[in-house]
Amino acid sequence: MLTIRENLLETMKGGNPDRFVKQYEFIDLIMEVPLGVEFNYGQTWKDHWGITWQWPEGQLGMFPVHHDGLAVIQDITEWKKTVVKPAIETSDEAWAPALAHANAVDRKEKFATVFYAPGIFEMTHHLMGMENALMALYEEPEAMQELIDYLTEYELDFAAVMVDKLHPEAILHHDDWGSQISSFVSPDMFEEFFLPAYKKIYKFYKDNGVELIIHHSDSYAANLVPYMIEAGIDIWQGVMNTNNIPELVEKYGDKITFMGGLHSGTVDYPGWEKEVVKKQVEETCKANGRKYFIPCQTSGLPIENFEGVIAYIDECIDEMSKELF
Amino acid sequence: MSKIEDVKVLVETGKSKKVAAAVQEALDAGDKAQDILDAMIASMGVVGDKFSSGEIFVPEMLIAAKAMSKGVEILKPVMAGDGSSSLGTCIMGTVAGDLHDIGKNLVVMMLESAGFDMVDLGVDVPAERFVEAVKENNNVVLVACSGLLTTTMPALKEAVQTIKAAYPDMKVIVGGAPVTQEYANEIGADGYAPDAGSSASKAKELIGA
């Protein structure tokens, strides 16, 4: 029997995995990284960029808010007046919990994986609101390019500290590039504004010992896959069924692995039902095959909203492994 | 190319800085304001169709809507007092507990471009607020409710049922990522649009325009 790590690599290279990779089993995620990202349930707060967030009680996530003058950038042509890179924690003390976790990872079985969010695209709209960010790409492209360069510099600065402190083997990097049915921007616009930024960021990680780039975008983004490959992404996590995953596996599987196929909203919901989950796991495993595909919830973290879902999905994946391997 | 054709192309391609002048030129050339408006509405119909088919993306739709609004600003004084161009008022909001606004804002733009007078209640809108808004505004012909989270689907249902309880004949359209036609039927909505691009044609169909 292959180790978890070996089985992942066999899956990714289209070799001879002996079972399905079970969701996030191959990563040991170091959430203690002092990113400055806060998760404050039921509260409203400002983050280290000055972005205002709200997490309504009873809901599953938090949202940046921009109404009533709350947006950090009111006028993209004057972004330099209001956007200031936060200080990056460099003290050993701040990194100690993350380092302790990194040192404790069983690297024979799992990849020591750091977490980074939000990515460049999300940062642009967190700072000024989605509509303004998207329109600015047309109306003030030079200013947007400057902003993107600035955000990229920050990411690279942070990456330098993170690889120095932790020597991670993988990164789980969040940046949602689309809705359920389309990418937010056209492939041409993505290529012009965001691909160069990601090529720099992911190249830096690769050049510094990070073997696996796992990019999370729980969306449609089939039209961006060639750019994902060009940017150096190894695994697209969050791929939704709206993408025609079998076609993507067939066309691009030898260059990138697709991780998803189980929409979190349809498996991880209040009062979730075993038969519903089991059916979806069966469908996604059978439809997408044993190579270049990892059955997983589209959620960007290995956590569940409603108790027991992850363990049950894993159980169903085990059953599919017995049937299909 | 006629002046109206110029306006159509400028709206479709989102040239917001040029549309106002083109609309003024069309008016100066003797084109009727209503005809110019109809042309712009038709352009936004094309934009919506292209979005639905994946030919264009959100930024293109946004700049087209902005261009249209710049054109409408020129037409408004000319058409003042002429209510014939309005399809009626539409109340729109994202339901309680849900702070998603992108899809909702896109639909507001598309419906506005189609000729509705839009009242945007924003996000996290309690069911009763939709009813109050119907009371507070004139000529309300449609209520549009958006919900983007599976966990706010009960709030979407509550909104639709509260509106229907207060105004049984009011047309209600729903949308959002987890929403399907089947779910819309189940909760008693009159219509469902799978994306912002198709929302305008569905809304017009519901009110018989």
Q: Which pLDDT tens digit goes with each residue over A75-104? A: 999 999 999 999 999 999 999 999 999 999
pLDDT at B83: 57
The answer to whether the Cβ–Cβ distance between B194 and A182 falls below 8 Å is: no
Cβ separation of B151 and A60 shorter than 8 Å? yes
* Cα separation values, A81 from A73, A78, A137, Å: 9, 6, 19
Residue with tokens 């006028």: A75
pTM: predicted TM-score of the whole model, two decimal places = 0.90
pLDDT mean across residues, chain B? 90
Q: Could B177 and A137 be called an inter-chain contact, meaning their C-beta atoms sit closer than 8 Å?
A: no
ipTM of this model?
Answer: 0.90
Quick check: B53 contacting A, CB < 8 Å?
Answer: no
Interchain contact B180–A (C-beta under 8 A)? no
Q: Verify whether the Cβ–Cβ distance A59 to B100 is below 8 Å.
A: no
Number of neighbouring beta carbons within 10 Å of residue B139: 10
Q: Could you say which of A67, A135, A180 has the minimum Cβ distance to residue B59?
A: A135
Best residue in A53, A57, A63 to probe B by mutation, most B CBs within 10 Å? A63
Which residues of B are less than 8 Å from A184 in CB distance?
A: 57-59
The answer to whether the CB atoms of A54 and B99 lie below 8 A apart is yes
Q: Is B198 on the interface with A (CB under 8 A)?
A: no
What tokens were used for B177?
């990522």
Q: What is the mean pLDDT of residues A295-301?
A: 96
Q: Give CA B100 to chain center in angstroms.
A: 17
Chain B residue with minimum CA distance to A133: B59
Contacts of B177 in chain A (CB under 8 A): 179-180, 265
Q: From its phi and psi, is residue B57 left (phi > 0), alpha (psi between -120 and 50) or beta?
A: beta
- pLDDT one-digit tens code per residue, B143-167: 999 998 777 888 999 999 999 999 9
pLDDT at site B79:
78
Compare all CA atoms of chain B with the CA of A265 and give the residue at the minimum distance. Answer: B150
Residue A296 to residue A26: CA distance in whole angstroms: 12
If you average pLDDT over residues A203-232, what whole number do you get?
98
Picking from A163, A192, A177, the residue whose alpha carbon sits closest to that of residue A240 is A177
Amino acid, single-letter form, for residue B77: P
Given a cut of 70, whether residue B84 has pLDDT beyond it is: no
Nearest CA in chain A to B106: A131
Cα atoms in the 13 Å half-sphere on the side-chain side of B29: 16
Q: What is the pLDDT of residue B174?
A: 96
CA-to-CA dists, residue B125 to B129, B158, B159, B174, angstroms? 6, 11, 9, 14
Residue of B nearest to A139 (CA): B63
A242 touches chain B (CB under 8 A): no
